[in-house]
Amino acid sequence: MFIYDRDIRLSGMDLWLDAKRKKPFSFVSHAHADHSARHERILATPATLALARERRRIRRAKMKRPSRREPVEVPLDYNAPMRLDGATVTLLPAGHILGSAQILVERGGRRLLYSGDFCHEATSAAEDIEIPTADTLIMECTYGLPEHRFPPRESTVEKLLAFVDEAFADGLTPVLLCYALGKGQEVLRILTQQGYSAAVESETYALARTYESFGIAFGGYRLLDGGVKPGEVVITPNMRAVAAFTRGRPMRSAALTGWAIGGFSHRARSAHSAIPLSDHADFDGLIDYAAAVKPEIIYILHGPEEFGRHLREAGFRVGELSEKASPQPGDK
């Protein structure tokens, strides 16, 4: 049902899936930069389109570049089937960040599901995932090694809140290092719902305002455009972004990343602590997701090739993505 040429295109259709290179028409699963190239036309949820638009505006402002031609947007709500090139396409929540979507393609009695990045657990600032069945599954597997098993989300949130309280008790400003899109808003919502006040880096702040336009409510927070006030938690993607506002104030930092389990990211190494709060499925979540889809065959992306072996050991048939042997409609 699809052709692989470094990127994925649906067979008999002009639609690509999360293509990394510019295409005439591509589905974009969510607004993170590694999934949202500048295509001529984009199929995505309204929230993804709005977040991607805001990120382009922010980048232009930072680079002091003039506006360029915007892509043609093709918005599609969740669970609103659309006919396209003789097939039916439906977007379903992926649970990763606001607006993140899986795409289900149905044609000739066959069903293909492309997952994009997904999270099998409910988070504080994204739609809960909905998992359909499909004959063919193309899935991400970022945390596709057994060492990447996250603790229960409730205990991770408790660890986050304890870190903040302990920093305040020691007379320090807690600084939380989070991706500007997705993780930053999730952490902001966790904190403000518990009554904490936050000072937020500019991109994280702007994207939080976009979240609010889609009904995600936050408590007390402000743009970090001056010195940090007593009792405020700082949320930022990196220390450079807030250095001018935190200079001279004693701080303690924590990186919020799934790589705190089984590995280390640059963000985790630069912080005093690392807390394994992730908006991706962990190893067990990936296996559970595949089991829920019940596919005849699985193809994997965005993660370790070794995950294919684990899928086979769990009883799944795993295909190879190759330009020399592109899967064809009806392959089993």
pTM: 0.93
pLDDT tops 80 at residue 322? no
Q: pLDDT for 200-231, tens place per residue? A: 999 999 999 999 999 999 999 999 998 899 99
**Which residue intervals of the chain bear CATH 3.60.15.10?**
2-147+280-325
Q: CA 292 → CA 106, 111, 197, distances in Å?
A: 18, 14, 39
pLDDT tops 50 at residue 325? no
Of 91, 112, 7, 13, the C-alpha closest to 49 is 91
pLDDT value of residue 44 = 98
Domain spanning 153-275, CATH architecture: 3-Layer(aba) Sandwich (3.40)
pLDDT value of residue 326 = 38
How far is the C-alpha of 281 from the C-alpha of 167, rounded, in Å?
29
Q: pLDDT for 159-206, tens place per residue? A: 999 999 999 999 999 999 999 999 999 999 999 999 999 999 999 999
Asked if residue 44 lies in contact with residue 101, where contact means CB atoms within 8 angstroms, the answer is yes
Q: At what angle do helices 46-63 and 202-213 cross, to 10 degrees?
A: 150
Q: pLDDT for 34-79, tens place per residue? A: 877 789 999 999 999 999 999 999 988 887 777 778 899 999 999 9
Which contiguous run of DSSP H or E holds residue 52?
helix 46-63
pLDDT value of residue 265 = 58
pLDDT tops 50 at residue 328? no
**Which residue intervals of the chain bear CATH 3.40.50.12650?**
153-275
| Domain 2-147+280-325 top-level CATH class | alpha beta
